[in-house]
Amino acid sequence: MCNTIQKSYKFKSVLIQPNGWVFAPLPSSLKIEAVHPFGRTPIVATIDNNSWNTSIWTQKDGQSMIAIPKKIRGSLCKGDTVKIKFIFDHDRFV
């Protein structure tokens, strides 16, 4: 988006690992409408000055979460608290 200031969203989350992947659940107060199939909404996320292109995944029960890859989380693991900032990646909404 050219010359557009995007709102950033910030939250703290306790990392979970339900199936081998490590996720940061979004707070229930932050509702995200999925824009792609499988409940996916493209974002650019940041933890500790490390940014990456990813998606928010919204499950059928309404819970939304962000997968945190090993290269981003480093030594962080299940049970650790992280501060996450993200903006919507409107260029990938198409």
SS3 of residue 66 by DSSP: strand
| pLDDT tops 70 at residue 34 | no
**pLDDT, average across residues 38-43:** 85
Residue 40's pLDDT band, with cuts at 50, 70 and 90, is: confident
**pLDDT, average across residues 44-53:** 95
Per residue in 61-85, pLDDT tens? Answer: 888 999 999 999 999 999 999 999 9
- The Cα 92–Cα 89 span in angstroms is 6
What's the pLDDT score for residue 19?
A: 85
